[in-house]
Amino acid sequence: MTAVEAPVSHLHENPFDIARAQLRRVAETFDIERNLVDVLSQCKKAVEVSVPVSMDDGTTHVFTGYRVTHNIARGPSKGGIRYHPDVTLDEVKSLAMWMTWKCALMGIPFGGAKGGVICNPKKLSRSELERLTRRYTSEIINEIGPEKDIPAPDVGTDGSVMAWIFDTYSMNKGHSVLGVVTGKPLTIGGSLGREEATARGSLFCIRDAVAKQDGRLDQMTAAVQGFGNVGSFLAKFLHEEGAKVVAVSDSTVALHNANGIDIHAAFAHKREHGTLRGLANAEEITADELIVLDVDVLAPCALEQVITERNADQVRASIICEGANGPVTPRADAILEDKGVLILPDVLANAGGVVVSYFEWVQGLQEYFWKEAEVNAKLNDIVSRAFEETWETAQEREIPMRMAAYGIAVRRVAEATITRGIYP
């Protein structure tokens, strides 16, 4: 039996330190009481579990998994599960905190949570991935539930993983529990529109931001970093809206074509080969070069901390849409703001996923499902309202969009905490 150790993280800075520093800055700007900040700066619960898995070769590997709940003042906690080699407890804590703010900004009745397992899902067979998921679910089964904590997909996980969690939990309860996870396949209680929801919410934010600047999306160029669930669909939606997507990337390669990438061909190539490498009519560039391309919109849609103080001054995009969580570090934030770059922050720009996860949870509890047009219309209403509130706050207070979004969210969670009181 062997234990799988966590590799050296790709993160340049501790993400939980960043999240707490952001909270303190917001508290100063919006005059939030220090006692409340002390409460909100800590996670309610952090669980670390050992996940032994029988591998296909007959060996047993022991993986490490986490499930963190940050806050439940506004409702049960909600948050994805990440399978990645670089998962750390502090990363999961920061993601749980950001999820709290995201749910509050969108006005949905959830708190924030997050989970993760230190593994490389790309090196696991499908059967190993299933055994890993079912054992991890069994280890955290007392932490999750439809009225307690509802997981969802994140980096390295998808609908199949959610199906295994749903089945494992339901088998232990003795009946099907549709609301225990979201992001499920449609055949077992998933919601229409959920797969594309995060990217669609990002598109709505870009659309509204461009309109505020009296621009036209169909006259703009874009670069999308990351071609997973969020990046691929965002590239597709931008292309369909008439924007010219000149660069895309995945974990293996970055590609550029000044005349525009054929996004439909990229989807087909990725589906067939599992990588964008080799896509016709596109030249390979480095991941660093993609970040500093001369485009109107840059959408980092992969992992955290891809734009730092080391490359921020070279960024030429006028709008950055954070499809990923925490892709811009605070030091980079300051540099970009000084350059006049409009940053659409993660808690606003990628909140479409949790909004439609909320819709899926509601549909599962009611066992009554909506048409896709209804899902997308409701998503548009919620994201556009949150964008407008954030924009107005930023303009009134003359602060960046990130500070405005966090300020709205933190005040809502603080108000809920005051209203409920601290027991006993």
pTM: 0.93
For residues 248 and 311, state if they share a domain: yes
Q: pLDDT tens for residues 116-162?
A: 999 999 999 999 999 999 999 999 999 999 999 999 999 999 999 99
Residue 103 pLDDT greater than 60, yes or no: yes
What span, in angstroms and rounded, lies between the C-alpha atoms of 321 and 125? 34
Q: Last residue of a domain, which of 301, 316, 349?
A: 349
For residues 68 and 165, state if they share a domain: yes
Q: How many domains does the chain have?
A: 2
Query: Which pLDDT belongs to residue 85?
Result: 96
Query: Which pLDDT belongs to residue 6?
Result: 45
What is the three-class DSSP state of 150? strand
Task: Kindly state the tokens that stand for 156.
Answer: 């390295």
What span, in angstroms and rounded, lies between the C-alpha atoms of 297 and 316? 9
What span, in angstroms and rounded, lies between the C-alpha atoms of 68 and 88? 11
Question: Which ranges of 111-196 does DSSP label H, i.e. alpha helix?
Answer: 126-139, 159-173
For residues 157 and 209, state if they share a domain: no
Helices 89-106 and 352-366, packing angle to 10 deg: 70
What is the three-class DSSP state of 6? coil
Instruction: Please report which confidence band the pLDDT of residue 191 belongs to, taking 50, 70 and 90 as the band edges.
Output: very high
Query: Which pLDDT belongs to residue 424?
Result: 84
Q: pLDDT tens for residues 345-361?
A: 999 999 999 999 999 99
Q: Last residue of a domain, which of 295, 328, 349?
A: 349
Residue 384 lies in a domain: no
Instruction: Please report which confidence band the pLDDT of residue 4 belongs to, taking 50, 70 and 90 as the band edges.
Output: very low
Catalytic positions, please? 114
- Asked, as a colleague might, if the bond just before 121 is cis with ω within 30 of 0, I would say no
For residues 145 and 226, state if they share a domain: no
Whose structure tokens read 């993609």?
290
For residues 164 and 283, state if they share a domain: no
For residues 134 and 227, state if they share a domain: no
Share of the chain above pLDDT 90, in %: 95
For residues 60 and 132, state if they share a domain: yes
| Closest by CA position to 203, among listed 334, 69, 348, 90 | 348
Residue 250 lies in a domain: yes
Residue 343 lies in a domain: yes
For residues 115 and 214, state if they share a domain: no
For residues 153 and 302, state if they share a domain: no
Residue 12 pLDDT greater than 90, yes or no: no
Continuous segment of H or E residues that includes residue 51: strand 45-54
For residue 1, what is the DSSP state?
Answer: -
Residue 111 lies in a domain: yes
Q: Last residue of a domain, which of 117, 144, 177?
A: 177
Residue 338 lies in a domain: yes
For residues 159 and 207, state if they share a domain: no
81 beta partners: 115, 153
| Mean pLDDT, rounded, for 80-86 | 96
| Closest by CA position to 313, among listed 287, 299, 333 | 333
Query: What domain range includes position 293?
Result: 197-349
Query: Which pLDDT belongs to residue 311?
Result: 95
Which amino acid is residue 140, in one-letter code?
I
Residue 410 lies in a domain: no
Query: Which pLDDT belongs to residue 304?
Result: 85
Residue 3 pLDDT greater than 70, yes or no: no
Query: Which pLDDT belongs to residue 10?
Result: 60
Q: Which residues contact 331 (CB under 8 A, 6 or more apart)?
A: 308, 309, 312
Share of the chain above pLDDT 70, in %: 97
Residue 187 lies in a domain: no
For residues 322 and 242, state if they share a domain: yes
- What CATH number does the domain containing 158 carry? 3.40.50.10860
- What CATH number does the domain containing 320 carry? 3.40.50.720
| Mean pLDDT, rounded, for 267-276 | 94
Q: Which residues contact 347 (CB under 8 A, 6 or more apart)?
A: 98, 101, 102, 105, 402, 405, 406, 409
Residue 326 lies in a domain: yes
Query: Which pLDDT belongs to residue 143?
Result: 97
What is the three-class DSSP state of 66? strand
Rg (CA), the chain: 21
For residue 225, what is the DSSP state?
Answer: E
Q: pLDDT tens for residues 152-190?
A: 999 999 999 999 999 999 999 999 999 999 999 999 999
For residues 122 and 206, state if they share a domain: no
Task: Kindly state the tokens that stand for 264.
Answer: 């439909």
Q: pLDDT tens for residues 199-213?
A: 999 999 999 999 999
Instruction: Please report which confidence band the pLDDT of residue 8 belongs to, taking 50, 70 and 90 as the band edges.
Output: low
| Closest by CA position to 380, among listed 102, 106, 110, 104 | 106
- Residues 119 and 63 sit within 8 Å (Cβ to Cβ): yes
Residue 312 pLDDT greater than 60, yes or no: yes
Within 13 Å of residue 316, how many CA atoms lie on the same side as its CB?
10
